[in-house]
């Protein structure tokens, strides 16, 4: 099984209350803090974007944030490269 297929086994949220991941409003901010240090955050977000998951916090983004991202880049077929490139750019900017 590849890393993309089994990412959920390493998710920071896997042992918590799964219903909490589908919070409304202010609850979403609390849920997003779980994602902050998650080692598979990129894989989770990739899965949510590629599969157009409409509800809950995935990869540190709410459904509203994901919809905006998808609207802004409608021609992206697979988000993994986009997310990894963005991650690399961020870490490069931090080390300058």
**Three state DSSP letters for the chain:** CCCCCCHHHHCCCCCCCHHHHHCCCHHHHHHHHHHHCCCCHHHHHHHHHHCCCCCCCECCECHHHHHHHHHHCCCCCCHHHHHHHHHHHHHHHHHC
Average pLDDT of the chain is 86
Q: What's the mean pLDDT in 60-83?
A: 93
Split at pLDDT 50, 70, 90, the class of 59 is: very high
State residue 1's pLDDT score.
40
State residue 69's pLDDT score.
94
Give the rounded percent of residues in the chain with a pLDDT score beyond 90: 49
pLDDT at 90 over 80: no
Give the rounded percent of residues in the chain with a pLDDT score beyond 70: 91
State residue 73's pLDDT score.
93
């Amino acid at each position: 099984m590849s890393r993309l297929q089994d990412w959920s086994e390493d998710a920071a949220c896997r042992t918590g209350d799964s219903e909490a991941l589908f919070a409304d409003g202010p609850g979403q901010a609390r849920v997003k803090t779980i994602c902050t240090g998650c080692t598979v955050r990129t894989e989770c977000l990739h899965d949510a974007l590629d599969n157009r998951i409409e509800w809950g916090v995935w990869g540190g983004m709410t459904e509203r944030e994901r919809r905006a991202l998808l609207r802004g880049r409608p021609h992206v077929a697979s988000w993994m490269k986009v997310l990894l490139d963005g991650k690399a750019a961020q870490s490069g900017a931090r080390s300058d």
